[in-house]
Amino acid sequence: MISGLTLAILGGALAVVLGGIGSAIGVGLAGQASSGVMSEDPDKFGSLLLLVALPGTQGIYGFLSAFLVILKLGLTGGSIAALTFDHGWQMLISCIPVALTGLVSGIHQGKVCASGVYMVAKQPKDLMKPVIMAALVETYAVLGLLITILLQNGIKF
């Protein structure tokens, strides 16, 4: 039988893995576009770096959520929390918002950033326009992180 501790750890792992997958795909999409542009104009590296890095934040949010799970469970030292099966489910479910928003928004933010890279290639002075568009996608990952943190803080054991 699966223990509450196992379920809670699974929640943290899902947050990291799904957020990381979204970020890796998103950064990959923007990075591919940037590499193509920089093959023609290497001086655009500084401008394009921001657009490539933006989709990486979802992985950071997943990591932060998993770290909060680890701290709450006492896995970094001291005594490990005694979780019931229900508490384990609560912790796992609390990680779903950041995991799913990180996966989906990371991919879509990468697509927005890749399009922004092509825009900056033709109109270098308009860098902030695609950054703002990408930040709009980021909003949903931030909301997922916020809900995960609030849910985790509400779980008492």
Q: What's at 127, amino acid-wise?
A: L
Query: 90-110 pLDDT, tens per residue?
Result: 999 999 999 999 999 999 999
Note whether 120 and 37 are within 8 A (CB).
yes
- pLDDT of 157 reads 86
pLDDT at 1 over 90: no
How far apart, in whole angstroms, are the C-alpha atoms of residue 5 and residue 73?
8
What confidence tier does 135 reach under pLDDT thresholds 50, 70, 90? very high
- One DSSP character per residue, 1-38 reads ---HHHHHHHHHHHHHHHHHHHHHHHHHHHHHHHHHHH
How far, rounded to the nearest angstrom, does the alpha carbon of residue 58 sit from its chain's CA centroid? 1
Note whether 56 and 27 are within 8 A (CB).
yes
The yes or no reply on domain 4-154 and CATH 2.40.128.130 is no
What is the chain's mean pLDDT, rounded? 96
Domain boundaries, the chain: 4-154
